[in-house]
A = this chain, B = another copy of it.
Amino acid sequence: MDAPRRTRIQQEKRELILEAALEVFSTNGFRGSTIDQIAEAAGMSKPNLLYYFRRKEDIHETLMQRLLDTWLAPLRELDDIGDPLTELRSYIRRKLEMARDFPRESRLFANEILQGAPRIMPMLEGELKTLVDEKATVIKGWMRAGKIARTDPWHLIFSIWATTQHYADFDVQVRAVLGPDRGGDGRFEDAARFLEQLFIDGLKPEG
């Protein structure tokens, strides 16, 4: 690997650009975003931005690489030690917190997948699949031990991704449907309570 060897200004400005690009890319998609938009959001001129990143794709690629690490962190933490139901509950909670705290990252990822994941397909089939398969084995162990109900571990993970990321990716729809009164900051706590109940007990009446 090549040593970056970056100036102080380079480090700062690159961060500034990446922050601006995250904002722009996550709301307009890659092709829907222009270098001018990113440059303006970063408070600099287009040629100046291109001094730090020579191509538009380089910005997107750098953003993507950083994203993937933090994005998979919660799943990596899912561990065999501790009570299985508690482990799953806290995985759901962590994912929901990420949707709340990093909605732009979630949307950037969603945009990429929606468009067929042209730039991260190898990572999906490689690193991601390996990690999920590994965790699926852990979950299967819990099922064999009678700690949680027997079901499909892969689709379980999908459903956790889907329900939690929904609150970032479909945020405008969630807020529109909940309305001004219920769509405020409390919506994430409501979601957390609901998801816990759903994943643990399901919908069938008690008794």
Are A203's CB and B149's CB within 8 A? yes
CA distance A165 to B114 in the complex (A): 12
Does A85 belong to the interface (CB within 8 Å)?
yes
Residues of B contacting A190 with CB < 8 Å?
A: 152, 155
Are B115's CB and A173's CB within 8 A? no
Identify which of A8-16, A29-37, A60-68 touches chain B. A29-37
Are B85's CB and A203's CB within 8 A? yes
Residues of B contacting A115 with CB < 8 Å?
A: 27-29, 32
Partner of A176, one of B124, B146, B148: B124
Q: How many copies does the complex hold?
A: 2
Does A194 belong to the interface (CB within 8 Å)?
yes
Q: Which residue of the partner chain B has the closest CB to A195? A: B159
Taken residue by residue from 167 to 184, chain A's Cβ proximity to chain B (1 for < 8 Å, 0 otherwise) reads as 101101110111100100
**Interface of A: prevailing SS:** helix
Q: A167: shortest Cβ distance to chain B, in Å?
A: 8
Are B27's CB and A203's CB within 8 A? no
* Most chain B C-beta atoms within 10 Å of own C-beta, residue among A29, A165, A182, A193: A29
Chain A, 97-127, CB within 8 A of any chain B CB? 107, 110-111, 113-117, 121, 124-125
Residues of B contacting A202 with CB < 8 Å?
A: 149, 197-202
Does A206 belong to the interface (CB within 8 Å)?
yes
Partner of A114, one of B156, B161, B169: B169
Are A114's CB and B110's CB within 8 A? yes
Are B204's CB and A200's CB within 8 A? yes
Residues of B contacting A200 with CB < 8 Å?
A: 202-204
Does A44 belong to the interface (CB within 8 Å)?
no
